[in-house]
Structure 1
Amino acid sequence: MRWNLVVLASCLAIAGCVGTSIAERQDANVQSSLQYDSVPCDQLLAQRNRLAQQYRLPPDAKPSFSDPGVGLGPFTPDARSKAQRDVEQASGRIDAMNRSIARRECGKPG
């Protein structure tokens, strides 16, 4: 029994150290909105809407985070499909675009 726990702990540690942990990949979905500040408002709104439509997401999508358990995030392997990872990455891009849109007050009469 004790040997099984040692093997399990070793496997989890190795899985978390190769850069494919769920926590690491989910953190990568959060993007800076500053990269979108140089894009004109009308183009950014259109880009955001196209991305949301492509992945069937709402225009106010935000990246989601799973709860693998206290202290286990860095060691829990990411078992999500590539399609699901792509959707969550698109959510992060949409959220970054929305933060830039809100900060610059795009779409508001002025």
Structure 2
Amino acid sequence: MRWNLIVLASCLATAGCVGNSTSERQDDNVQSSLRYDAVPCDELLAQRDGLAQQYNLSTQVKPTFSNPAMGFGPFTPDMRSQRQRDIDRATGEIDAMNRSINRRDCDKPDEQKKFVLPG
């Protein structure tokens, strides 16, 4: 009976971390690139470059994920500073913008996009 109470108490303590765990918050940083498909290419490139400059990041940055030991990710509280959370969020936005830019060939010069008939 005593072990049951100890296990129950530890489960309730770790359940309080749900919603504030490292893995959940890191997953939120990954964003869909589809929302940027409606933005004109030149504006999207300017947004990406401005965001990268604001947080002193590369324009080709990718989101990173911590590797918690043995599946404790959902129970590990997010101990990152607010600045690091903002940087990670910006990293996810830049990556989503890059996927939209690459899919639409926004980073290619206009001359290469034009279709020209031979002859």
Shorter-chain TM-score range: 0.7 to 0.9
CA RMSD of aligned residues (A): 1.7
2:12 matches 1:13:
no
Whole-angstrom distance in 2 between the partners of 1:100 and 1:70: 35
Query: What corresponds to 1:66 in structure 2?
Result: 66
Read off the aligned partner of 1:104 and give its amino acid letter.
Answer: R
User: Which stretches in structure 2 are left out of the alignment for 5+ residues?
Assistant: 114-119
Whole-angstrom distance in 1 between the partners of 2:78 and 2:37: 32
3-state DSSP of counterpart to 1:70: helix
TM-score normalized by the length of structure 2: 0.82
Query: What corresponds to 1:28 in structure 2?
Result: 28
Q: How does 1:81-100 map to 2 (within 5 A)?
A: 81-100=81-100
Identity of aligned residues (%): 60
Query: What corresponds to 2:116 in structure 1?
Result: none
User: Which stretches in structure 1 are left out of the alignment for 5+ residues?
Assistant: none
How far off its partner does 1:38 sit?
A: 0.4
Query: How many residues are paired up?
Result: 106
Highest Rg: 1 or 2? 2
Query: What corresponds to 1:42 in structure 2?
Result: 42
Deviating 4+ runs (over 6 angstroms): none
